[in-house]
Amino acid sequence: MNIVVIGGRGLVGRNVVERLRSQGYRVSAASRSTGVDLISGRGLAESLVGADVVVDVSNSPTFDDMAAFEFFKTATFNLLDAEKHAGVKHHVSLSVVGTGRLEASPYLHGKALQERLIASSGIPFTIVHATQFYEFLLDIITYAVGGQTIHLSPAYIEPVASDDVAATIARVAAKAPLNGSIEIAGPERGRMSELIQRFVRDMEAPYEVRTDVRAPYFGAMLDEFVLLPRKDAERGELGFQAWFEQSEYARADW
């Protein structure tokens, strides 16, 4: 089986590539650093020659404006078109729990369009919905901070280690397509504002976290449960504290 990982040099992509190679599969990583550009299409057709499975873990460079929507629209169209010409037999895509429920967010609106394009492409597929990565908490802080204050929603989240997500993606990539989706979440539930307050405290970062029910999450207002997975979601093994203690953030120098 020949597998191509789009975004194979990123956080999750590198992990997926390593896992699949260790299992004996032929795997190549495709990204802009290897000459493959999803937006222009440059190098895309060449990267998919002989591919049986394509794993797409690429991501928009922005989160809270229409550029995110346009990224997923263009990138997904180009990738699926190239896969059809290459005869790809299984498309695996990483998406987000809550996609389809938060259309006010340009990012999640783009992910919802991506999923519709995949489902209607005629290519057998599996979509992996993941909750927020622990590693993604810093991005949430970056987009919510104003001065030394971080305004955050008290909505519940069940964040997960990217390593656990990569393990799930590698597993489904090696199996038959589901023509549907699965979900993976972390082992613990907490309110976003409280969990990030804990994160900020553990990092000894110079920020104050304030809970605000009106605080936007990448352009969308949240109710308490909108970011939670289904009851049948898979569960990652690594809890927040164990992840933090082995992460680079435990040693951050502020």
112-165, pLDDT tens digit by residue?
A: 999 999 999 999 999 999 999 999 998 899 889 888 899 999 999 999 999 999
The mean pLDDT value for 241-248 works out to 88
Give the global pTM. Answer: 0.93
The mean pLDDT value for 170-189 works out to 97
CA 110 to chain CA mean position, Å: 13
Structure tokens at 224: 């308490």
Chain segment 76-88, per-residue pLDDT in tens? 999 999 999 999 9
Give the pLDDT band (50/70/90) at residue 210: very high
pLDDT at 252: 57
Give the pLDDT band (50/70/90) at residue 251: low
Task: Report how far apart, in Å, the C-alpha atoms of 195 and of each of 28, 211, 231 are.
Answer: 36, 11, 21
Give the pLDDT band (50/70/90) at residue 235: very high
- Residue holding tokens 């999640």? 108
- Smallest CA-to-CA distance from 137 within 191, 66, 93 is with 191
Q: What are the residue ranges spanned by the domains of the chain? A: 2-251
Residue 215 has pLDDT above 90, yes or no: yes
pLDDT at 95: 97
Its sign, for the CA torsion 80, 81, 82, 88, is positive
pLDDT at 40: 97
Listed range (71-75, 94-98, 201-205, 248-252) with the worst mean pLDDT: 248-252
Structure tokens at 215: 């605080």
pLDDT at 170: 98
Its sign, for the CA torsion 192, 195, 200, 203, is negative
pLDDT at 37: 96
The mean pLDDT value for 94-117 works out to 94
Give the CATH architecture of domain 2-251.
3-Layer(aba) Sandwich (3.40)
Residue 56 has pLDDT above 60, yes or no: yes
State how far the Cα of 44 lies from the Cα of 93, in Å rounded to an integer: 16
Phi, psi of 21 (to 5 degrees): -65, -40
